[in-house]
Amino acid sequence: MSGPTRSFHVLFVCTGNTCRSPLAAAAFRAEFAPEGERITVESAGTSAFEGQPISQGSLEVAASEGIDLSSHRAHRVTRAQLDQADLVLVMEPQHRAALQMLGAPMDRVKVLSMWPEDREPALPVSDPFGASREAYEECWRRIRHHVRRIAPEVRRALLEREAS
């Protein structure tokens, strides 16, 4: 009998780690609650100010779904996080380029709206920072949509890992 399987590690990355990536991580955790101990989820930012709290708009839209993000604190993405992640989901192509500059394993870095197979680039996850409540709500809707859309891909990868 083999030892325990390493969890599948997903990292969400945006710019400041105060809006989109923490929302995406929360949506992903909610979607994958039954697989909880088998999946590790983190978020980070390419230009985050360490320790900054989540934006008020993100806090409110998550709370409207019963998700408490009040303890979230921003942090900048590290090379160690990139190396540990099985899948890195970024919000925009510019985030992918920034991670490439950090030496990220690019075969694991995908734009959320464009993976798998360039699926829905017309539904980008735009940064709502400083915008209206409606902008945060639309961002949250798109993130949840994309997380639900990619869930079968992630579950397939998890099953493949466990079978090997």
Residues 19, 20, 86, 96: which is the catalytic one? 20
Is residue 14 annotated as part of the catalytic site, yes or no? Answer: yes
142 is catalytic: no
Q: Which residues are within 8 A (CB) of 53 and not within 5 positions of it... i.e. 6 or more apart?
A: 18, 70, 72, 73, 74
- The residue annotated as part of the active site, out of 29, 38, 127, 155, is 127
The helix (run of H) or strand (run of E) holding residue 87 is strand 87-90
Q: Would you call 97 helix, strand, or coil by DSSP?
A: helix
Q: Any idea what the Cα angle at residue 119 is, between residues 142 and 10, rounded to 5°?
A: 65
Q: Under DSSP, is residue 1 helix (H, G, I), strand (E, B) or coil?
A: coil
Catalytic residues: 14, 20, 127
